[in-house]
Chain A
Amino acid sequence: MDIGKKLSHVVAIAAVAGLTLVAGTGSVIASGEAKHPEAQDWSFAGPFGKFDVASIQRGLQNYIENCSACHSMNQLAYRNLSSLGFNEDEVKEIASQYEVTDGPDDNGDMFDRPARPSDKFVLPFPNEQAARASNNGAFPPDLSLLAKANPGGPDYIFALLTGFVEEPPEDVELAEGMNYNPFFGGGQIAMAPPLFEDGIEYSDGTPATIEQQARDVANFLQWAAEPEMEDRKRIGWKVVLFLLVLSALLYAAKRQTWARLH
């Protein structure tokens, strides 16, 4: 085999593969003038990644206390919390803090009842108009898929929540009711900083720095966006290992078959 030829082929193939990758990811990069969020270490990253359940639980508590007044999470049901280690009674307990409208009953009337585990997370506002009316015209987006609906993913969420700056740079003119945050497209966000140093008392006693809270919320939102992740990766390893063995066997079979030819 001519080594030079072989090499040039390998180089060509590598160049093609490399360019394909660039082309594939290139489209993601350009999104407004927002500052690029710094990459964080996440327990769920990589093919062996696992959820940090304690952190997700704190994130849930934080969402309930600090965010759920404005942001819905319409893809989650209370029953989903059982996969975070809450038992049946605890899930019932969490759900029952909320009221849902049900009905009609036998008299044709609608009625309110405490939420059950099978109910979806109760929405803070009945509709978008109501949400805007209470937020100076801005709409607090649903958070269930936010962690994968943004190119920065959980890094973006962490950066945004820790990235509020009280005094905007001199060349920035803040509009009425806006806050400066370089990680948000345009630098101005209608949400006031939602997290405060010790603004929450975590039930597991973890000190509630802003960073800690932001990390917990990001972990929670990542779980909410991809609750199947751990199952997916666990099954993935079995499937990929099986396929590798199968490939090796098929390769051996192929060699043996072709050995009959000369």
Chain B
Amino acid sequence: MSAHTQPSGTGSGLVKWIDSRLPVFTYLQKEYGEFPAPRNFNYWWNFGAILSFMLVLMIFTGIFLAMQYTPHVDFAFDSVERIMRDVNYGWLLRYMHANGASFFFIAVYIHIFRGLYYGSYKNPRELLWIFGVVILVLMMATAFMGYVLPWGQLSLWGATVITSLFSAIPLVGDSIVTWLWGGFAVDNSTLNRFFSLHFLLPFVIVGVVALHVIALHVTGSNNPLGIDPKGPQDTIPFHPYYTAKDSFGLAIWITLFAAVVFFAPNFFGEPENYVRANPLVTPAEIVPEWYFLPFFAILRAVNFDVLFIDAKLGGVIAMFGSILVLFVVPWLDRSKVRSARFRPVYKWFFWILVLDCLLLGFVGGHPPDEKVFEGIEGLKFINLGHLGTAWYFFHFLVLLPLLGMFEKTRPLPTSIAEPVLGGGQSAAGAAAKPMEKA
């Protein structure tokens, strides 16, 4: 059967020998060479490649950091400083890893909003979307535990605040917290297990990414028009067209990343984490890293009891709920039209949701009773938190289902090729798109 599985045309004797026994080259050729992709991707489709790069970068830098890092409460802080000062290019490794986490999250948030805008979660891509949300959850767990490792003040106190949330669970809450900690406080056993899990989880992410990509290659990619390719005129081979486009986008991304790593490496970080962890001194303000701030705002927004659910448990439910709701988005959104380009009302609410998430992030960085503006007495951050949280859930739980029923969508173009190849008068041509060309 070797004759059938030959990679098309090319390949040395060795390649053929391997391929007829383990068809990796055929696979690559099929999935990344010929793989037919819609011809109209814009640069928002670049973020899959960017995310893959970031994952590999995090694993590489992480493994080299782990060679020098000591997971013990007495040595962790100094071992990280030793990496910064005495290990050759240790500062580069650590700054790439720490800022890599931030850039990873920027990319994944853009990637998710891209999916929301173009309806990429809809039939038949529900499972692909669900794997994506699983990756997000795993990334959050990984980053949370990674932030504990340098054992600064916010490492310790951030871990204490977040793990303590589980104590809100009725009856078993306190036992769960003790079990998570491996003791009665965030201490050495907590640090050890977080290191172990922080090492493990990225490889689990690699596994889920594989599932995500396999699912993608079954359904094929969505595209800015949100309509299915109708034939070969609508698609182009992934290589060389999108390999070329992705390489360019990735190079720009890496340039931005390098600018931060080399010129502002502590821009995303909290200064307080350069103070060694001290269980006896609580920092004035305990803030998580920026990428958790919207969720932190939702957690703190529930400061009232609801029936038998007290405020603490309510906050925890809201916070986890804000992530879990993403899993069911494919079923909450009843609209058959995928792309927001043809959904004049949804398009507005999409951008309002983006602003809402930014607002929540802003709120999460401030103490709840702080005034938003000097001189305006009534408006505190908690009020904004209430507003932002209410809107977040309203968007997903009420607006998405209702819009699907009542929104009057615009006519869809008949094929991808039509507007792309200059059918300028069509509905799609009118909705032309700045990022598409170039």
Contacts and interface: CB of A to CB of B under 8 A. Distances in A.
A151 B262 contact: no
Nearest to B152: A149
Interface in A212-248: 225, 227-228, 232-233, 235-237, 239-240, 243-244, 246-247
Given A236-B262, A250-B247, A251-B248, A12 B351 contact: yes
A26 B362 contact: yes
A250 B262 contact: no
Contact of A151 (B240, B248, B271): B271
B370 interface: yes
Contacts of A30: 285, 365-367, 370
A10 interface: yes
B84 interface: yes
A254 B262 contact: no
A148 B244 contact: no
A121 to B, nearest CB: 13
B266 interface: yes
B319 to A, nearest CB: 18
Residue of A23, A24, A233, A250 with most chain B CB atoms under a 10 A cut-off: A23
Given A20-B358, A185-B284, A227-B85, A254 B258 contact: no
Interface string B332-374: 0000000000000000000100110011011011110010000
A250 B244 contact: yes
B271 A253 contact: no
Contact of B366 (A27, A151, A239, A247): A27
Interface in B251-276: 251-252, 254-255, 258-259, 261-263, 265-268, 270-272, 274-276
8 contacts: A10-B434, A20-B361, A23-B362, A47-B262, A74-B78, A75-B85, A233-B263, A237-B262
Contact of B358 (A19, A28, A150, A262): A19
Given A232-B91, A257-B241, A24 B268 contact: yes
B293 interface: yes
A258 B241 contact: yes
A contact patch SS? helix
Interface stretch (A1-9, A52-60, A85-93, A196-204): A1-9
Interface string A135-169: 00000011011001111010000000000000000
Interface size class of A (residues with CB under 8 A): 35 or more
Contacts of B293: 23, 27
Nearest to B262: A236
Contacts of B255: 240, 243-244, 247
A22 interface: yes
A16 interface: yes
A32 interface: yes
A261 interface: yes
Residue of A26, A28, A31, A244 with most chain B CB atoms under a 10 A cut-off: A26
- Closest CB pairs A-B (n = 9): A236-B262, A27-B365, A149-B274, A23-B361, A247-B251, A243-B255, A250-B248, A19-B358, A254-B244
Contact of A27 (B270, B431, B437): B270
A258 B274 contact: no
A19 B85 contact: no
Interface of A: 1-2, 5-6, 9-10, 12, 15-16, 19-20, 22-24, 26-28, 30-32, 47, 74-75, 80, 141-142, 144-145, 148-151, 153, 185, 225, 227-228, 232-233, 235-237, 239-240, 243-244, 246-247, 250-251, 253-254, 257-258, 261-262
A173 to B, nearest CB: 21
A149 B275 contact: yes
B290 A23 contact: yes
Nearest to B370: A30
Contact of B274 (A2, A22, A24, A148): A148
Residue of A1, A9, A10, A254 with most chain B CB atoms under a 10 A cut-off: A254
Nearest to A74: B78
Given A144-B81, A150-B271, A254-B245, 18 more contacts: A10-B434, A19-B362, A20-B361, A26-B362, A26-B366, A27-B270, A28-B271, A30-B367, A47-B262, A145-B275, A148-B274, A151-B271, A232-B91, A232-B262, A236-B258, A236-B262, A254-B244, A258-B241
Contacts of A250: 244, 247-248, 251
Contacts of B247: 250, 253-254
Contacts of B274: 145, 148-149, 225
B28 interface: no
A44 to B, nearest CB: 12
Nearest to B252: A247
